[in-house]
Amino acid sequence: MIKNIVFDLGNVIIRWDPNYIISQYTDNPEIHNELYEKIFASPYWLAFDTGNLTREEVIRNIQKTTSYKYYNIIVDIVYYWYQHCPMIDGMESLVKELKEQGHNIYLLSNTNIHFDEYKDTLPIMKYFDGYYISAIKKLIKPHREIYEDFLKEFNLQAEECIFIDDIKQNIKGAKKVGIDGYQFDGNIEALKNYIKNTKNMHAP
């Protein structure tokens, strides 16, 4: 019996597109490419998500690799990237429907420790029973430990959960600990049908 629906954040709840984020700051292809490489493709951004660098350390390390003229852009992106990540169409209504059916709703995301600063800008979060942030625990998907710790954190049984993520490796990681998984590709109707047709899928 599936009692708990677990959602990823980026490209499941909100649109996560580093190129789109950077496009809000420059239309120069060379600057765009440099900012992408120095910010999102850097080891510092990953260390941000794993909780191994503070926001200030991320900014300082990125700034060392770029021109001083990009300083304000770097600061703004590191602090306010989420302002350029709109909600995925149809996801809020689906989550609301699942909640009304009696399911518990959780978030499991690879993101930094500052989630509390912007979660209230996401109306969908009012339907969630809990959220698990990688940087707070210093664990990251798709490693087995993060799924095990997530289950322990909320006292959940793996066989009673389904995990929705856009990345195949993250789904594989969840399945290794017995959590059913669905790779979301933006098709809300396909996701609805999967949930509806999942064996033993019903409200607790």
Give the type of residue at 100: E
Residue type, 88: I
pLDDT of residue 17: 98
Q: Which of 61, 55, 40, 75 is nearest to 135 (CA)?
A: 55
Tell me the per-residue pLDDT of 91-132, one tens digit each, with 9 for 90 and over: 999 999 999 999 999 999 999 999 999 999 999 999 999 999
Q: Give the three-class secondary structure for 69.
A: helix
* Predicted local distance difference test score (pLDDT) of residue 82: 96
Look at residue 68 in the predicted model and tell me its pLDDT.
Answer: 85
pLDDT of residue 36: 97
Q: Report residue 198's pLDDT band, with 50, 70 and 90 as the boundaries.
A: confident
In this structure, are residues 108 and 115 in contact, taking their beta carbons and an 8 Å threshold? no
The upper half-sphere exposure of residue 38, i.e. CA atoms within 13 Å in the direction of its Cβ, equals 24
What is the band of 199 on the pLDDT scale with cuts at 50, 70, 90?
A: low
pLDDT in tens, 45-95: 999 999 999 999 999 999 999 988 999 999 999 999 999 999 999 999 999
- Cβ of 125: how many Cβ atoms within 10 Å? 17
Tens of pLDDT, residues 1-32: 899 999 999 999 999 999 999 999 999 999 99
Burial of 90 (0-12, 13-18, 19+ CB in 10 A): middle
Instruction: Kindly give the pairing relationship between strand 180-183 and strand 161-165.
Output: parallel
* Domains of the chain, residue spans: 4-14+88-197, 18-84
Residue 200 has pLDDT above 80, yes or no: no
Q: Class assignment of domain 4-14+88-197?
A: alpha beta
Q: What is the rounded CA–CA span in Å between residue 49 and residue 30?
A: 26
| pLDDT value, residue 203 | 45
At 199, which amino acid appears? K
Tell me: pLDDT of 204 over 70.
Answer: no
* Mean of all residue pLDDT scores within the chain: 95
Segment 131-156 shows an average pLDDT of 97
The beta-strand segments (E) located in the chain are 4-7, 104-109, 130-133, 161-165, 180-183
